[in-house]
Structure 1
Amino acid sequence: MIAEAYAYGMKMHEGQLRSSGEPYFNHPIAVALLLAEQKLDDASIITALLHDVIEDTGSTWSEIASRFGNEVATLVDGVTKLTNLELSSKDNAQADNFRKLLMAMSKDVRVLLVKLADRLHNMRTIRHLRPEKQKRKAHETMDIFAPLAGRMGMQWMRDELEDISFRVLNPDGRKSIIRRFIKMRSESGDVIARITEDIRTVLKQANVEAEVFGREKKPYSIWRKMEEKNESFSRLSDIYGFRIITNSPVDCYLALGAVHKRWAAVPGRFKDYISQPKSNGYRSIHTTVSGRDGKRVEIQIRTHEMHTVAETGVAAHWSYRDGVRFENPFAVDPFKWLATIAERFEHGEDSQDFLEHVKMDMFQDQVFCFTPKGMVVKLPRGATPIDFAYAIHTRIGNSCVGAKVDNSRVPLWTKLRNGQSVEIIRAEGQRPQATWEDMVVTGRAKSAIRRSLRDERKATWIRLGREIARVALSRVGKESTDKALDTAARRLSLNDRDDVLAGLGSAELTGHDLVGALYPELLRDNVLPTLDDNASPVVIGLESGQEGRPAPCCNPIPGERIVGIATRGKGVMIHAIDCAELVEVEDEPVRWLDLRWGPGHDRADHEVRIEMIMANGTGVLGRICTLIGEQRANIVDIRFLDRKPDYFRLFIDILVRDMEHLTNVLTAIDADSDIAEVHRHRAAAPVQNRTTTD
């Protein structure tokens, strides 16, 4: 089957060339070779040979299925769909596409293994692309594919993908690291060979049979440590890495004892991932010691089986030996993480949150903390007691009011360390605070906090929306009943009446929308008082046949001194006498008309926008809306400009009779203790151009 796939792929790609000028089919061969080196199954290798035939040739899913079976056809189709995702997009499409990528993986993780091998070979030959495309692909690889390879446990692939991307994105930085390595070797000789021999001697004396390997860290790994620790190259302590590969877990601990007996361990640099494996199946002991000449060196100790998982990760779950599936006892089920991710974000998370949280889950290292009863809780590096609380249960996180770490009370923003015991202090009735979102690092905690805050805001919006609905319907002689709101929900394609009220309270809907959904004929008959674009206010001073319209820049109302400016084709624009726009026509007195308001303006049908800054507290906005109603002014629209943990800044459009009426409204609002500032807002954009009015 592999030979047939080879022949079929070569035939389909015949005559096609890569950017380098070489035959295109060299690429599928290289991808298949990468998977064969990882001892993957036949279907994966065949998929690698055919992974571009649907996209780049005349081949179809049906033809591949008839020749190679449905399994291969489905895998090829999955890889094709991943290839077509624009993962490097900077807008929400990146998040949506990343979600699709993970969902495709969840059906068969081999799709991802083929795609990662495809990306690795493309990165190895990236120099043949245009510079701008190289940078785009490098950013995409650094953001998405390298951490995905790491999360799947394929550390060797992650290292190479990051290093190639680093070479494209920061060639000078990479060259600087390499030059320093060369200089260091010339000054101190082959340190790796000497330390490797020292470790072998120590293990032999302890009767531990093991293999020992040494290496310099990758340039990007060194650069990242320099950035994280804000240290120069010369001050970094762990630029060398050594691995001890033993025959059994017992030998791992014997080797650890021998190493620590010979060299001093560096405090705080010990991690036992054998007793507490990482979630991607990684097992190893990490320790840093002061070795030869006082140089700090990092040593990893693991068994051969653990080493296989550490190198190939999820691929170890699919590996074959002599055609027989090889079950590695240390390989994790590749679907567990995907199932956890899918479960975590099933409660209405938007795509941007999904991307943010999955990236966190891929990038973060782990710390292990304990509950007072001794249960181990795995958290990412930088996690706080709030993350700990949500990791146990959402209910515990929501009701958290404090924490004790190792029996000492600590602030909730404290970063937890390995081995600490954490006790959460709770209080019934406590709700998550908006500031918590900046304190936590886990996707689970962020998601729960946002959901709780959203639910709390929705309750406030519903209370406010109920008042807006009452006012809007009363103006057309109708009553706001539950049945009416249920009917509006169906007409507006919303779930229920609460969604209608929340939409009104959050300014996503207006009273105009509500009335239009229930009584569209009333809108057609112009029953609702609106500010008609073509309506002429009753003013004195217009000549016969002239049409006057309020200028959108100042939107004058009765009680203000006004002036008319004649405009070609637009009649007369009526401005307040203090309007800043009048400066532009002060040298054209012939266009000016002396106007004043006529009698009869006793209806509240002049629209004014007020801007206010108010405390973010329960019931504040509802109270302000009640104040406006008590002053016999109607709310037309509400729009939030800023939502902060302690205050809101918003626009409220209201209908008033005149300046005296507006002054009364502003005075009543300003007297409220939760209002920091309130004033009339001269619209920067034409008020009459709004898409909705009440």
Structure 2
Amino acid sequence: MPSIDTLADRLSSYLGPDQVDLVRRAYFYAEQAHDGQRRRSGEAYVTHPLAVASILADMHMDHQSLMAAMLHDVIEDTGIAKEALVTQFGETVAELVDGVSKLTQMNFETKAEAQAENFQKMAMAMARDIRVILVKLADRLHNMRTLEVLSGEKRRRIAKETLEIYAPIANRLGMHSMRVEFEDLGFKAMHPMRAERIRAAVRRARGNRKEIVGRIEESLTHCLEHEGMQGDVTGREKHLYSIYRKMRGKRKAFNEIMDVYAFRIIVDKVDTCYRVLGAVHNLYKPLPGRFKDYIAIPKANGYQSLHTTLFGMHGVPIEIQIRTHEMEEMANNGIAAHWLYKSNEEAPKASHARARQWVKGVLEMQQRAGNSLEFIESVKIDLFPDEVYVFTPKGRIMELPKGSTAVDFAYAVHTDVGNTCIACRIDRRLAPLSEPLQSGETVEIVSAPGARPNPAWLNFVVTGKARTHIRHALKLQRRSESVNLGERLLNKALAGFDSHLERIPGDRLQAALVEYRLDSPEDLLEDIGLGNRMAYVVARRLLSSDGEQAHGSEGPLAIRGTEGLVLSYAKCCTPIPGDPIVGHLSAGKGMVVHLESCRNIEDVRNNPEKCIQLSWAKDVTGEFNVELRVELEHQRGLIALLASSVNAADGNIEKISMDERDGRISVVQLVVSVHDRVHLARVIKKLRALKGVVRITRVRA
């Protein structure tokens, strides 16, 4: 274990004497605070903060981060208040420590919820100072290195959380070395036997490959010398977890993965990268479609490099990465590579700006998410490592996770663009919103001012931002529609008692809200609209002292067809305008419209708390689906005949299926969308006119 003196010696190579003294002071303060505390392994507790600071020292982090690393468990484990740290070490260090501290005071229903809340708190702290996440990652790395003292179940839980959240965050911040170590340690804890098998196989394969690796390295070095270019050529080892993931994900055998030889060429400047690329393409033939230029278009985490795959000697595939020394440093340590806080005058580096942008996005998701578990699900989605690069019509590059659609793109441009999006053009052709985008495509969004997000988008969007904003918009839309419907239902119930919501005294309404444990009249109306409370019961409660028996003076509630998410039409009996209907109030779903004769609501039809009389408004709008059963003589081009007849009557076929009853008669099931009963009669009339039609019936429950 490193001692504070050896750490101080290392720090003096890049920090000033005063800053090193401050780090020492933080160490002694932590040593005193944790006095008597031991880790599971039996060592003094202070060895953990010291090891965390040592990890950050390897990244050349600033003195405040190192002080926060020394003190990161003080608030949580020793009862020392944040204010005491402010007095001793200043506001900045205390804020960092507070950001890294976990939420231990709160009791949660489940472990998952506790983890989600911890992460939510960390996201808030990250937004204030991004160093919080670097201290947190170093803390997690040391815990992962010393996992073996814990029980099997705890080991697996911590390893799972590391693989799902901390390794992807390290990747998102461009910290390759830390990500690789997280993944290998997590893999070893989750699947010890698999990790050992793969490690042994890699050791064997390394021995067999030694000669070929040496020869390829030699030919690449000779090639660079011949062209008069300086560069370090090194063989690249695949790490265990990436081998395991490829074996599982791509269904490849171990030998197939190990047959690829990987090398890295490090050069002095960007110009040389492209010259080296030309030289190696001249030496071995490149594989078409396998070249990627991450220097011109860096990855979302700031990673830059040229990637190419070549056919080497004896036809072995060779993967080559070409980059500068600065890019190599950036690839390994990411955002920590050039630490901003060393000098405030320095312009923010691109990697830092990207990281800030990501944290800002995380914070936005956190504000929109319904709860901590929904938030963490969105963040996990957002930590996808693979990107596609697409262009806006003005030529701006947008980075999106692999599999993103035009809706993800629209939300990445701006929330309002996403919310009002109705169609898209990909490379100038109209395309479905659900089509996955490919790198290099130009995407244009068509939006309309009154448009609203479609719940079906949740089935195909992949970015956390899009998912969170769609859910948020749908919640708001659903609430306003629920309140609206709830008000109509309550007024309908009150009308039965010769009253109206506006005539209810304020104190009586307030008393009902207190009884129902609700905050506002809108909450009560929303509950009624969603079917969680019955309008009839609420009406009686509001009129409790002077309400007489219902007179039924008010007619049925009119349905306009524009009620939205809180009103649905039963699939069992498919009612359409003109049909006699009733409404069934279903908790959480709002109102479901059924035919009066529907068998599914026979038991509750006469219960005023469950069912309500409805009628169709004169100005009802929209299209309604109806199922028809058509029996007709079998003939060629049957489907085309039916489709053209429905089309001639301005109907639209939503679904069609056919089963042959015997050799002569075919039975066709049609789902047709119509405006009302008159329109349906027109469609049936057209179908009856077809030659060979025996019978047409409307299918009802």
Alignment partner of 1:209 out of 227, 230, 234: 230
1:139 aligns with 2:87: no
Q: Structure 2 matches for 1:116-515, cutoff 5 A?
A: 116-236=137-257, 240-318=261-339, 329-333=349-353, 334-347=355-368, 349-394=370-415, 396-398=417-419, 400=421, 402-407=423-428, 410-424=431-445, 431-458=452-479, 460-481=481-502, 492=513, 499-511=523-535, 514-515=538-539
Task: Report the counterpart of residue 3 of structure 1 in structure 2.
Answer: 24
Change (3 A) 1:76 1:485: same
Q: What CA distance in whole angstroms lies between the structure 2 residues aligned with 1:22 and 1:131?
A: 21
Q: Deviations over 1:299-350 (max 9, x none)?
A: 22222222222211222343788x9998785542343321233235544644
Partners of 1:128 and 1:213 in 2: how far apart?
36
Distance 1:151 1:208 in 2: 33
Q: Is the 8 A contact 1:489 1:495 kept in 2?
A: no
One-letter code aligned to 1:501: L
Residue aligned with 1:5, SS:
helix
TM-score (norm 2): 0.70
Are 1:41 and 2:62 matched, yes or no?
yes
Q: 1:402 to 1:7 in 2, by over 3 A?
A: closer
Q: In the alignment, residue 155 of structure 2 is paired with which amino acid? A: Q
In the alignment, structure 1 residue 98 sits paired with structure 2 residue 48: no
C-alpha distance in structure 2 between counterparts of 1:57 and 1:217, whole Å = 42
What displacement does 1:168 show? 0.9
CA distance in 2, matches of 1:87, 1:264: 59
Q: Are the equivalent residues in 2 in contact too, given 1:222–1:239 (CA < 8 A)?
A: no
Q: Which moved more, 1:143-152 or 1:87-96?
A: 87-96
Cα distance, 1:663 vs. partner?
12
Contact 2:531 2:586 in 1 (8 A): yes
The number of aligned residues is 576
Matched-pair contact (CA < 8 Å) for 1:249–1:302: yes
Decide which moves more: 489-498 or 335-344.
489-498
Code of the aligned partner of 2:587: R
Residue identity matched to 2:395:
G
Q: Secondary structure at the match of 1:287?
A: strand
Q: Distance in 2 between matches of 1:2 and 1:97?
A: 27
Measured in 2, the distance between the counterparts of 1:109 and 1:664 equals 56
- Residue pair 2:497, 2:548 contacting (<8 A) in 1 also: yes
Closer/same/farther in 2, CA of residues 148 and 633 from structure 1, 3 Å limit? closer
Aligned-residue offset at 1:105: 1.5
Answer yes or no: is 1:656 the counterpart of 2:656.
no
TM-score, with structure 1 as normaliser:
0.71
Deviation at 1:196, TM superposition (A): 3.0
Query: What is the percent sequence identity of the aligned residues?
Result: 39
String of CA shifts for 1:482-531, please: whole Å, max 9, x gaps. Answer: 98799959974878765543332112443267448855x54xx89789xx
Q: In 2, are the aligned partners of 1:153 and 1:281 still within 8 Å (CA)?
A: yes
CA distance 1:224–1:82, change in 2 (3 Å):
farther
Match of 1:638 among 571, 582, 586: 586
Question: Which residue type is aligned with residue 335 of structure 2?
Answer: V
Local SS of the residue matching 1:216: coil
Residues 247, 304 of structure 1: 8 Å contact kept: yes
Deviation at residue 117 of structure 1 after TM alignment: 0.9
C-alpha RMSD of matched pairs (Å): 4.5
- Secondary structure of 2:500's partner? coil
Corresponding letter in the other structure for 1:104: A
Aligned 8 A contact 1:372 1:423 in 2: yes
- 2:653 aligned residue: none
Contact 2:265 2:321 survives alignment (8 Å): yes
Structure 1 stretch displaced more, 187-196 or 380-389 = 187-196
Q: Distance in 2 between matches of 1:96 and 1:46?
A: 25
- Equivalence for 1:539: none
Distance 1:390 1:663 in 2: 41
Is contact 1:87-1:94 (8 Å) kept? no
How far did residue 155 of structure 1 move? 1.4
Measured at CA, do residues 651 and 35 of structure 1 come closer, stay the same or move farther in structure 2, by a change above 3 Å?
Answer: farther
For structure 2, the residue ranges without an aligned partner over 5 or more in a row are 1-21, 553-562, 593-598, 617-622, 628-701
Q: 1:16 to 1:664 in 2, by over 3 A?
A: closer
Q: Supply the distance in 2 between the matched residues of 1:221 and 1:328 (Cα, whole angstroms).
A: 32
Q: CA deviation digits over 1:358-410, x for unaligned, max 9? A: 21222232111123443322211111233233333445545555545445555
Whether the aligned pair in 2 keeps the contact of 1:142 and 1:165 (CA below 8 Å) is yes
d(CA) in 2 for partners of 1:632, 1:255: 76
Q: Is the 8 A contact 1:639 1:650 kept in 2?
A: no
CA offsets 1:2-37 (integer angstroms, 9 cap, x no match): 222333333333333222222222222211111111
Give the letter aligned to residue 638 of structure 1: S
The question of whether the paired residues in 1 share the 8 Å contact of 2:23 and 2:66 is answered with yes
1:165 Cα offset (Å): 0.7
Tell me the alpha carbon deviations over residues 252-291 of structure 1, each in whole angstroms, 9 at most, x when there is no partner.
2222222222223233333222222233322222222233
Residue 168 to residue 513, structure 1, CA distance change in 2 (3 Å): farther
Per the TM alignment, residue 449 of structure 1 is displaced from its structure 2 partner at its CA by: 3.2
Q: Taking structure 1 as reference, are residues 293 and 508 closer, same or farther at Cα in structure 2, changes over 3 Å only?
A: farther
How far apart in 2 are the matches of 1:121 and 1:326?
31
* CA distance 1:467–1:10, shift in 2 (3 Å): closer
CA distance in 2, matches of 1:73, 1:347: 28
Distance 1:157 1:621, change over 3 A: same
Kindly report which structure 2 residues correspond to 1:588-603, keeping only aligned pairs within 5 A, or say none.
Answer: none
The amino acid of 1:212's aligned partner reads V
- Equivalent residue of 2:27, what SS? helix
Instruction: Specify the SS of the correspondent of 1:355.
Output: helix
C-alpha spacing 1:339/1:392, structure 2 compared with 1 (3 Å): closer
Which secondary structure does the structure 1 equivalent of 2:436 belong to?
coil
1:167-216 CA distances to partner (integer Å, 9 max, x unpaired)?
Answer: 01112222232232223233333544433333322222333322233221
Residue identity opposite 2:35 in structure 1:
E
SS at match of 1:374: coil
Mapped partners of 1:433, 1:135: distance in 2:
39
Look up the SS of the partner of 1:332 in the other structure.
helix
